[in-house]
Chain A
Amino acid sequence: MRSWRTSAAYRIAFANFIAFALGLALLGVVVFAVMHIDFSRQIDAMMTDEVETLTDEYRVGGQQNLADAIAEREASGSPTRMLYGVFTPDGRRILGALQANRPPLGMHDIAFVDPNEGPDTARALAVDLSPSERLVVAADREWIERIDDTVVGVFGAAFIVACLLALAGAGILGSYLQQRLRSISRSAEAIIAGDIRERMPVSARRDEFDQLAITLNRMLDRIEGLLENLRQVSSDVAHDLRTPLARLRTRLEQGVRQNEGENGVLEDAIVQVDEVLSLFAAILRISEVESGQPRRFFAAVDVSALVTDLGESYAPAVHDGGRELFWSVEPGLVAEGDRELLAQAVVNLIENAQSHTPKGTIIRLTAVLADGLLLVQVADNGPGVPNADLHRVVRRFARLESSRNTSGYGLGLNLVSAVAALHGGRLILKNAAPGLTATIELPGTRVRKLPAAESPRRDKETVH
């Protein structure tokens, strides 16, 4: 699982979320400002109306009428009530409850003393009713501040809820994108592992991921076709060259038969021809395996018996070559496959371990079942393969600089890898430091419990 830090899907989803959150916040600020300004204007308009109404009261009924109107308003107790005051030019308040200094004419913010809450600010509109009477109508800002607080509170809560929803949405989007991409990546991994016939999954939605998968699948079809051509060509070349070589071999053998006596040169030539023929046979065998045709002859293979047999057959030869082969095989291991090809693959691994290690090397052959996978392993404690070359040695005709002097054409591991892929498995090469560990990993099962087979102890061996 990739962490969200390195995931483009999550990055895109979170960038989206941040853009959304910023947009929402900006919207909030604008709404707040517009509301705030609008309410302020409404208050101003209300104060202007109030001043006009009171001025009319004063004109109709004089100071007494005004005093009644102010007293009535101040007694109403409405939350949106205003504060009133009539001041003389020397600053004395003669009507109303507004505890403030005489404000100048027009609209101003003034300081006043709230009888309940102490000093506060208010917006005030002042007009002169007569040279000695200045009417002041003031609105406590507390009212608009309460509205502001409510707006901020409601909007803040909405913002948090929206952000949480958006965050969850981003998470879901990120994981969805990752999941779609991962299914493509999984198919690609299967192809890398060797099954070129694997294709990307295409859903019925036909969205852009499906379009991508369809394009990739077309590309894979093309690659598979090209590979098939290449396999066909190399197989045709090897096959066509066999016929003249076969004739040549026949002629050489006839020559040997006719020449009584000294035939060293001819016999050497036959050995050389045979070597080329066996090289072609190996190429043809690999292309046969890669074509997948041998799957038609798959049957249940007793891998335990097969590997035990190989251990018993090769231990003496490896011993004679100055190395030791020990084997240990779990009982009852069975795989669906081709016995000959599996045998040849394991033989190649043993021979590889034998020809690229110094005398005294210990080679261990094991067969176990782990997590539903059958592992046939050949491990040596020789010099191993440089890590940088591990992926190279599996290639056809791959030869390392260090093995220039040993025999072979670099087809051994290529065949092993092809056989493993044919069986739906793979060849894994690892530096065990010291030595190389080659593992054939196959789908397999264990069918019955039998005593495990192991190489006999040296002291029990009858031949020395």
Chain B
Amino acid sequence: MRILVAEDDRETGEFIRQGLDELGHNPLVVESGADALHVLSTEDFDIAILDRMLPGTDGLTIVRRIRAADIDVPVLILTALGRIQDRVDGLEAGADDYLVKPFAFSELAARVNALGRRKPMQTEATRLEHGSIVMDLLKRQVLRDGKAVLLQPREFRLLEELLREGGKVVTRTMLLERVWNYHFDPQTNIVETHISRLRSKLNEGSRPDVIETVRGIGYRMADNA
């Protein structure tokens, strides 16, 4: 994917560029708000990663300007401030996601993947499939190998998020944000507890594990599911 990175801290910019490069993306790093605004209005990008505090035009202003100009590239805002206000401001300005610095690169990578897939998902699917798992969003029903699996609402939502990412990693933080709508990090790993219950329900009868744990990062649907 072609990704714009607007980051004035050279070291962080290079860290992101290198990481995205290794994942096979095509990143372009700019160091000022004016440059970011310029390239966003003249070239096509799949994703824009904007630092909130940029010299000249800041990240939030860039989002507002491009949204006003009908440029609907998915935007991820990076910020050094983790204040409640900053998240509210970012989403109000029209950003799609929000990440507090410093972050693990794996977290950024997972979010970039999720944002990149957002476009074709615009037509709301009513049925999600991955290997032996079929989820019917209208009937709120999950089948494994054609057999219904009874899930609690939160387990259903977790599986839905994993299925939507189609085998890509979903981080623990993303699941907390999307399923629980919590933007803080509890000490207790409630995601893990609920995933383990979901897993044991899906795998009942010692069938192969459909959910793969990516150590220290998150979860994804297993390839052989």
Interface assignment of B124: CB less than 8 Å from any CB of chain A:
no
Q: Is the CB of B102 within 8 A of A338?
A: no
Interface assignment of B140: CB less than 8 Å from any CB of chain A:
no
Interface residues of B in 1-54 (CB under 8 A from A): 11-12, 15, 18-19, 22
Q: Is the CB of A354 within 8 A of B82?
A: no
- Mask, B179-222, CB within 8 Å of A = 1, is 01111111111101110010011000000000000001000000
| A341–B189 CA distance with the chains assembled, in angstroms | 18
Chain B residue at smallest Cβ distance from A256: B105
Which residues from chain B contact A339 at a C-beta distance below 8 Å?
A: 181
Chain A residue at smallest Cβ distance from B179: A313
| A278–B83 CA distance with the chains assembled, in angstroms | 13
Q: Is the CB of B188 within 8 A of A293?
A: no
Contacts A249-B102, A281-B82, A314-B190: A340 and B184 contacting too (C-beta < 8 A)? Answer: yes
Q: Is the CB of A296 within 8 A of B85?
A: yes
Query: Secondary structure of the A side of the interface?
Result: helix
Chain B residue at smallest Cβ distance from A247: B11
Partner of B82 from the list A285, A320, A341 (CB cut-off 8 Å) is: A285
| A254–B189 CA distance with the chains assembled, in angstroms | 26
Chain B residue at smallest Cβ distance from A258: B18
Q: How far is the CB of B32 from chain A (nearest CB, A)?
A: 19
Partner of A242 from the list B80, B104, B181, B186 (CB cut-off 8 Å) is: B80
Contacts A243-B80, A317-B193: A407 and B187 contacting too (C-beta < 8 A)? Answer: yes
- Mask, A225-263, CB within 8 Å of B = 1, is 000000000000001001101110110011001000000
Number of interface residues of B (CB under 8 A): 39
Chain B residue at smallest Cβ distance from A316: B193
Q: Is the CB of A351 within 8 A of B84?
A: no
Interface assignment of B154: CB less than 8 Å from any CB of chain A:
yes
Chain B residue at smallest Cβ distance from A254: B15
Q: Is the CB of B85 within 8 A of A294?
A: yes
| A351–B184 CA distance with the chains assembled, in angstroms | 14
| A188–B185 CA distance with the chains assembled, in angstroms | 36
Chain A residue at smallest Cβ distance from B100: A281
Interface assignment of A462: CB less than 8 Å from any CB of chain B:
yes
Interface residues of A in 422-464 (CB under 8 A from B): 462-463
Q: Is the CB of B190 within 8 A of A293?
A: no
Which residues from chain A contact B150 at a C-beta distance below 8 Å?
A: 462
Partner of A250 from the list B15, B88, B201 (CB cut-off 8 Å) is: B15
Contacts A245-B102, A277-B102, A463-B197: A338 and B188 contacting too (C-beta < 8 A)? Answer: no
Interface assignment of B101: CB less than 8 Å from any CB of chain A:
yes
Q: Is the CB of A340 within 8 A of B183?
A: yes
Contacts A317-B193, A340-B182: A293 and B102 contacting too (C-beta < 8 A)? Answer: no
| A247–B210 CA distance with the chains assembled, in angstroms | 37
Interface assignment of A343: CB less than 8 Å from any CB of chain B:
yes
Q: Is the CB of A246 within 8 A of B88?
A: no
Contacts A347-B186, A351-B188, A407-B187: A297 and B85 contacting too (C-beta < 8 A)? Answer: yes
Interface assignment of A74: CB less than 8 Å from any CB of chain B:
no
Q: List 21 A-B contacts (CB under 8 A).
A: A242-B80, A246-B80, A250-B11, A253-B15, A253-B105, A254-B18, A257-B22, A277-B102, A284-B83, A288-B85, A293-B83, A293-B84, A296-B85, A297-B84, A309-B180, A314-B190, A317-B190, A317-B193, A338-B84, A344-B184, A347-B188
The 9 closest A-B pairs by CB, nearest first: A246-B102, A317-B193, A249-B102, A316-B193, A463-B197, A250-B15, A344-B184, A347-B186, A317-B188
